[in-house]
Amino acid sequence: PLIVLSEQQQSYRFPVGSAKISDSFQEALDEEIIPMLEAESERCNCDAIEVIGHTDSLPVDSGRSNLDEELIAAFGQEEHKNLVPGSNLDLGMMRALSIVSYLKQAQEKGRLEEIEYFLPYSASQMLNPNYNLDTSAETTDNKRRRRIEMRLLQSSAWKQQLDENDR
């Protein structure tokens, strides 16, 4: 299953250039999205969630990125206030990581118990909502492109592939 949280809906918005989850976004995660993830993961026997951050194509003007130095350490933290994006690719990853951290906190409170793997990714501004690759040089503040996607999967699919590669 694929769940798309588009910034066209007010409650799924991040502040511009930020990966901070707003109070209304947290409320939507708690009341709508996490119950949906729990139901779908049980229905489909999934134990992994991929979270993909998508951004618009407005340039990120925050200076030099520190993700190369700080990303791994930030993964285990509740907040990622020390991360500085230098690109939309960085910002997409930071947003995905914020959602993953929030889901892991929910799991510590007894939610999403069937999920073993939380995987953050960034697609930045490269993929339009219809999954066409966007290679235009145009920079726009396009809310349709800003979104979080969550995919539920069965880890047995990649574990089997790893076992076959080890032979």
pLDDT in tens, 2-50: 888 877 777 888 888 888 999 999 999 999 999 999 999 999 999 999 9
The span from the CA of 6 to the CA of 70, in Å, is 27
Beta carbons of 3 and 37 less than 8 angstroms apart: yes
C-beta atoms surrounding 154 within 10 Å: 14
Q: pLDDT tens digits for 81-107?
A: 678 787 888 899 999 999 999 999 999
Tell me the pTM.
0.83
The helix (run of H) or strand (run of E) holding residue 67 is helix 67-75
Angular region, 64: left φ>0, alpha ψ -120 to 50, beta rest:
beta
